[in-house]
């Protein structure tokens, strides 16, 4: 079996901003403590939810360095280092290694896309140059490219490629991937609303947006299922399903940052091209939070 970086729920942590638009490191530390004290099993920094695409190279490295330093080994820290340029991914990966990342989360190349053969070469090139374990990230709704089960089989033969964050929403393809790869590839769910289903099928956790607001609950959905209580995992998934769904009423991470701002976990501040929720979607978030007595 491949190396396991974490089991359970990893928080795809937001990047909090000050009113000026600068990164708010004080709030970041506050959120890390909130996560760890509420059972989060790992932290993913500079992922999609962390608005990594609008961070400068210096900010990107500093975010990773700051999170690793502040976490201080309490949970694993996984660095999002993906790009549509393989050489840029290599530079980011090497920088994250120097900072001490426990894993590298690498999304498929976006915009320029590539073939399945190109995906294999992209990840092989990175794996040849790093010693840190790699989690591939498949999210075709954002990237326009989908990792096929047969491609996963080839990637799973590479020792440094230990897992994938799968967010294509195709459970049939997931089953095929699991059949082809067996113990050579660990699976993480990439959609909060599928967490219980994934762990019931054999996934070992979720990389979660929900965890930013509800870390204990995200952990419980995943871990109860991993531990064999599929019924409880499913019941928890149903209980929090509306909240999971409303967090995608607009582009991630806008809804989660708005929800967090309502309970004092961050400011409702973004960098363009992201903007605040409209009033209709704000009402949806507020309604879901009131239903769960969060506010």
165 catalytic residue (yes or no): yes
Q: What 3-state DSSP class applies to 144?
A: coil
Dihedral angle, C-alpha 109, 115, 121, 124, nearest 10 ° = 60
* C-alpha to C-alpha distance for 144 and 138, rounded to whole angstroms: 10
240 catalytic residue (yes or no): no
| Nearest CA-CA partner of 38 in 15, 69, 64, 13 | 13
* Set 2, 7, 137, 270: catalytic member: 137
| Nearest CA-CA partner of 197 in 134, 241, 152, 256 | 241
Residues 6, 75: contact at Cβ < 8 Å? yes
* Set 165, 240, 257, 258: catalytic member: 165
* C-alpha to C-alpha distance for 281 and 77, rounded to whole angstroms: 32
- Which residues neighbour 133 within 8 Å (Cβ) at sequence distance 6 or greater? 2, 3, 5, 102, 103, 104, 160, 161, 162, 163
Q: Which residues belong to the active site?
A: 137, 165
């Amino acid at each position: 079996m491949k190396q396991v970086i974490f089991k359970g729920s990893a928080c795809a942590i937001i990047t909090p901003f000050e009113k000026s638009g600068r990164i708010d490191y004080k709030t970041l530390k506050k959120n890390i403590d909130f996560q760890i004290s509420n059972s989060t099993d790992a932290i993913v920094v500079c992922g999609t939810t962390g608005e990594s695409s609008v961070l400068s190279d210096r900010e990107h490295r500093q975010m990773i360095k700051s999170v690793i330093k502040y976490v201080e080994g309490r949970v694993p820290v996984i660095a999002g280092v993906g790009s549509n340029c393989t050489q840029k991914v290599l530079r980011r990966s090497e920088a994250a290694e120097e900072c001490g990342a426990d894993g590298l989360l690498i999304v498929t190349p976006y915009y320029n896309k590539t073939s399945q053969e190109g995906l294999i070469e992209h990840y092989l090139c990175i794996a040849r140059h790093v010693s840190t374990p790699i989690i591939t990230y498949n999210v075709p709704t954002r990237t326009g490219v989908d990792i096929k089960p047969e491609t996963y089989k080839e990637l799973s033969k590479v020792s440094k490629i230990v897992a994938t964050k799968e967010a294509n929403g195709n459970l049939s393809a997931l089953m095929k991937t699991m059949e082809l790869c067996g113990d050579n590839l660990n699976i993480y769910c990439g959609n909060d609303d599928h967490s219980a289903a994934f762990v019931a099928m054999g996934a070992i956790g979720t990389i979660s947006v929900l965890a930013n607001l509800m870390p204990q609950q995200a952990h419980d959905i995943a871990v109860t299922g991993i531990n064999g209580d599929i019924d409880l995992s499913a019941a928890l998934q149903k209980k929090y399903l509306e909240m999971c769904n409303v967090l995608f009423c607009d582009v991630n991470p806008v809804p989660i940052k708005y929800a967090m701002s309502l309970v004092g976990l961050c400011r409702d501040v973004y960098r363009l091209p992201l903007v605040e929720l409209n009033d209709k979607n704000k009402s949806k978030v507020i309604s879901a939070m009131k239903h769960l007595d969060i506010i």
